[in-house]
Amino acid sequence: MSQAKVFGIVLAGGEGKRLMPLTADRAKPAVPFAGQYRLIDFALSNLVNSGLHKIVVLTQYKSHSLDRHVSHTWRLPAMLNSYVASVPAQQRLGKRWFSGSADAIRQSLNLINDESPDIVVVVGADHVYRMDFSQMIEAHIASGRSATVAAIRQPISLSDQFGVIDVDPDDRTLIREFLEKPDDAQGLPDSPGEILASMGNYVFTADKLVEAVIRDSTLEDSKHDMGGDIIPSFVAQGDCGVYDLKDNVVPGSTDRDRDYWRDVGTIDSFYDAHMDLISTLPIFNLYNEKWPIFAQQLNSPPAKFVRDSRGSTGTMIDSIISLGSVISGAHIERSVLGPWDNVESGAAVVDSILFDRVNVQAGAVVRRAILDKNVIVKEGASVGVDREHDLRRGFTVTDSGLTVVEKFGIVEP
């Protein structure tokens, strides 16, 4: 990485309404993912692997679970003057909470002032991906611009779901216009069937970021949002560049997963991201040792597969089973199980996601379901099998037919 002094800010105050009920009791970045991880672990792992060692996590909404996870998991060596610190809304500018992502930075300028960095990297906390930010930082410095937006190529048919970046035809690293979910986006010059979508990750020259959020705080018609207000202000000045993720080379990545990025903002996309993990050649590979995704080190025994009282060994196909889990003569297929799950004799868990300490009792059936922590599926019960029955029981069911059972829920026969 350049010798520039770099400071990292993770925006982690999101409420995550579209992920309800998984966010009923926790902030979106604290939602468990792939068994032992939390969503925020992907952003923090990318920053740390990129060489950033001074990082703050700005929290707000129901942040206890998130704060606890950051303090337990992300302990960088203090002797090297490194840290990941969780910083809640401090009300430094009055008795109010953050009114947007830009306002979160405006209210936390003391953190930037204390470190006096040359460069500030600002990232979201709820995307699943790998990225070497040091390469983006180098590109930002070389451009001489004040702001750079990370972007990923997406099919033009999905343009109405993203913030779309329109590049200058004479300089494809310069953003000409930033379009919010347009219906008539133009394809890229080198790929007419694709657009550049903002990833919600930014690199700023520090003093220019400070000036921008202070100026934005005085505007009555601003929503004080990084993507909606701050970036367009730099674009209007002709001072905002784009960094294409296809140019980013992460050690250990493959052609299959190097450009992977998933916005897990809905129940369906959260589910799909899990299904991306479990194939023989996964679309997103958790087993890349050269660019690890760090997680809380659980003091737990290995997962265990045992015969039940009838001598049946059960089966486990295309699934991820976390530490501490015990599978007793059950059938597990295309599923992700969290730590300390217990699936008993004759039970079946198929196409499902189980969080921590879920108990699926004998003969129960779980299909296309997401079970939050400490859910109990009683003996002989089923969930995810009958949509109307699940709705009558008060469970959340998506339009695609996924059933979600919230924390401590009990599924009766």
Per-residue pLDDT tens over the stretch 393-409: 999 999 999 999 999 99
Do the bridges between strand 342-343 and strand 320-321 make them parallel or antiparallel, or are there none, so unpaired? unpaired
* Tens digit of each residue's pLDDT (9 = 90 or more) over 192-239: 889 999 999 999 999 999 999 999 888 888 888 888 889 999 999 999
Q: What is the pLDDT of residue 199?
A: 93
Domain ranges for the chain: 6-275, 304-411
Quickly count: other Cβ atoms within 10 Å of residue 171's Cβ: 11
d(CA 364, CA 26): 28
**pLDDT-based confidence at residue 27 (cuts at 50, 70, 90):** confident
- The pLDDT tens digits for 156-184 are 988 888 889 988 888 888 899 888 888 88
> Is 304-411 in the same CATH topology as 6-275?
no
For residue 1, pLDDT over 60 is answered with no
Residue 2 confidence (pLDDT) above 70: no
Considering the domain 304-411 in this protein, what is its CATH number?
2.160.10.10
Higher-pLDDT residue of 225, 133:
133
DSSP string, 206-255: HHHHHHHHHHHHT-TT----IIIIIHHHHHHTT-EEEEEGGG---TT--T
Q: How many CA atoms lie within 13 A of 114 on its CB side?
A: 8
Task: Report d(CA 248, CA 199) in Å as an integer.
Answer: 13
Q: Which of 34-38, 68-72, 310-314, 371-375 has the highest mean pLDDT?
A: 371-375
Q: What is the DSSP letter of 50?
A: T
Please check the confidence at residue 98 and state whether its pLDDT lies above 90.
no
Contact 252, 290 (CB under 8 A): yes
Q: Is the predicted pLDDT of residue 360 greater than 80, yes or no? A: yes
CA distances from 71 to 64, 87, 260, 276, 294 (A): 11, 11, 28, 29, 14
Specify the pLDDT at position 381: 97
- How many other C-beta atoms can be found within 10 angstroms of the C-beta atom of residue 408? 12
Most confident by average pLDDT, 63-72, 202-211, 252-261: 202-211
Say whether 376 sits in a helix, a strand or coil: strand
pLDDT of residue 350: 97
3-class state of residue 323 by DSSP: coil
Q: Please give the average per-residue pLDDT across 134-154, as a whole number.
A: 95
The pLDDT value recorded for residue 344 is 95
Q: Is the dihedral of CA 400, 227, 247, 156 positive or negative?
A: positive
Binding-site sequence positions: 163, 180-181, 198
CA–CA gap between residue 371 and residue 409 (Å, rounded)? 8
User: SS3 sequence, 60-73?
Assistant: CCCCHHHHHHHHHH
Q: In this structure, are strands 342-343 and 359-360 parallel, antiparallel, or unpaired?
A: parallel
Percent of the chain whose pLDDT exceeds 90 = 63
Asked whether the beta carbons of 332 and 351 are under 8 A apart, the reply is no
More confident residue, 270 or 80: 270
> Top-level CATH class of 6-275?
alpha beta
Q: Angle at Cα 307 formed by Cα 287 and Cα 300, nearest 5°?
A: 45
CB-CB neighbours of 339 under 10 Å: 22
* Binding residue ranges for alpha-D-glucose 1-phosphate: 163, 180-181, 198
Partners of 205 in the β-ladder: 119
The answer to whether the predicted template modeling score (pTM) of the entire model surpasses 0.85 is yes
For residue 203, give every residue at least 6 positions away whose Cβ sits within 8 Å of its Cβ, in sequence order, or none.
119, 120, 121, 122, 133, 136, 137, 140, 147, 148, 150, 243
The whole-number pLDDT of residue 99 equals 67
Tell me the three state secondary structure of residue 155. Answer: strand
Q: Considering only CA atoms, which of 84, 119, 139, 135 is closest in space to residue 253? A: 135
